[in-house]
């Protein structure tokens, strides 16, 4: 069944390969890289982790410091709940590019999932330092502070996240749950 799913996911990859060969004016090396990334993604879509990793390792033989490969490999493990393995790849990204905000963010997400909130906070501080309006990082920072019991800091970062995205909706259960709990407590006291 997984192999059939893989073939289904390969249809757009093959179409893209044909398009690149016929219509695009890019080198054969670039076409090959595009194809390999597509193939790895197709394996991932079919939940064939080992096959996807083999393709990424093939890319790393040509480009041993490929940030996109490290991000994708981190994502493979993250989506499967293998956060310790994902950390390894996200750390590679942040070492290669200390200002890669997505690498830092996903590294912090792994720490958060592993309930290593202080490590997540340290990582998020680096992201927020060079990208102070990254709403997802601000929101996650609020979540981390909430989990370690620092409500004032949590609220500060939640409000910053809301200010960073005034047209969007950032709803966090911590703020809403706390508000609802306070309201219920007030009603019980009144009665």
Q: Where are the domains of the chain?
A: 1-64
pLDDT of residue 152: 96
CA–CA gap between residue 182 and residue 188 (Å, rounded)? 10
pLDDT for 174 beyond 50:
no
Q: Which one is predicted more confidently, 122 or 185?
A: 122
* Token code pair at residue 191: 């009665």
What pTM was estimated for this model as a whole?
Answer: 0.79
143 within 8 A of 154, measured Cβ to Cβ: yes
Tell me the pLDDT tens digit for each residue of 71-111: 999 999 999 999 999 999 999 999 999 999 999 999 999 99
CA–CA gap between residue 39 and residue 104 (Å, rounded)? 26
pLDDT for 168 beyond 70:
no
pLDDT of residue 122: 97
Comparing CA positions, the residue from 146, 117, 145, 141 lying closest to residue 128 is: 141
């Amino acid at each position: 069944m997984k192999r059939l799913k893989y073939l289904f996911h390969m249809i757009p990859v093959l179409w893209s390969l044909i398009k690149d060969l016929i219509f695009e004016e890019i080198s054969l090396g670039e076409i090959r890289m595009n194809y390999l990334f597509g193939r790895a993604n197709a394996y991932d879509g079919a939940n064939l982790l080992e096959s996807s990793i083999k393709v990424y390792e093939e890319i790393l033989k040509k480009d041993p410091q490929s940030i996109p490969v490290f991000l994708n490999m981190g994502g493979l493990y993250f989506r499967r709940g293998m956060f310790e393995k994902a950390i390894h790849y996200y750390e590679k990204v942040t070492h290669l590019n200390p200002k890669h905000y997505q690498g830092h963010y996903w590294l912090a997400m792994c720490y958060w999932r592993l309930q290593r909130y202080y490590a997540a906070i340290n990582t998020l501080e680096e992201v927020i330092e060079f990208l102070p309006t990254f709403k997802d990082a601000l929101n996650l920072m609020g979540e981390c502070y909430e989990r370690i019991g620092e409500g004032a800091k949590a609220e500060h970062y939640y409000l910053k996240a809301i200010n960073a995205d005034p047209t969007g909706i950032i709803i966090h259960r911590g703020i809403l749950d706390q508000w609802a709990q306070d309201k219920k407590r007030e009603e019980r006291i009144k009665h």
